Amino acid sequence: MEAVQAAGVVCFRGGEVLLIRRGRPPRKGEWSLPGGRMEADETPAQAALRELTEETGVTARLLGLIEIVDAVIGEPERLFLLHDYAAIWTGGEPVAADDAEAAEFVPLDEAVARVSWSETARILRKAQDMFGS
């Protein structure tokens, strides 16, 4: 099974983090982190920032890599390598675009409660532990 390379961002703004509601599979309709597939000519970090801006209109500065999560998801099932980064908001107000049907900053505890995939909740907590104030 060939792996799909993807990148996501836990974007902090004060005590809040940015979530999107996915507009396409996999996990359509679920709250998640902004992110998506890497393009052939970009690094995971570049993909993370590009996807953040494409999906939400928000810009940020990366703080560092949280973890690379490997997961078999979707229909048909595919192996995804998800490069999850922490970032700090630098500008823009969230507006859903591209693959997102909603985008908003919410308090971390609310974000953890909204996401249905346990791996996303774990990454949110790990980002707070590693990079939060």
Q: State the CATH class of domain 3-131.
A: alpha beta
Task: Work out whether strand 78-91 and strand 3-13 pair parallel, antiparallel, or are unpaired.
Answer: parallel
Q: Is 92 left (phi over 0), alpha (psi -120 to 50) or beta?
A: left
In the numeric block, the tokens 């996401």 are attached to 115
Biggest alpha carbon distance in the chain?
Answer: 40
In the chain, the N- to C-terminal Cα span, in Å, equals 39
What is the model's pLDDT at position 70? 93
> Phi and psi for 62 in degrees, rounded to 5?
-70, 140
Judge contact between 80 and 33, C-beta under 8 A.
no
Sign of CA dihedral 31, 8, 118, 89: negative
Which residues are within 8 A (CB) of 72 and not within 5 positions of it... i.e. 6 or more apart? 1, 78, 79, 80
Question: pLDDT tens digits for the chain (133 residues)?
Answer: 778 999 999 999 999 999 999 988 878 899 999 999 999 999 999 999 999 999 999 999 999 999 999 999 877 888 999 999 999 999 999 999 988 999 999 999 999 999 999 999 999 999 999 997 5
Q: Please name the amino acid found at residue 7.
A: A
pTM of the model: 0.94
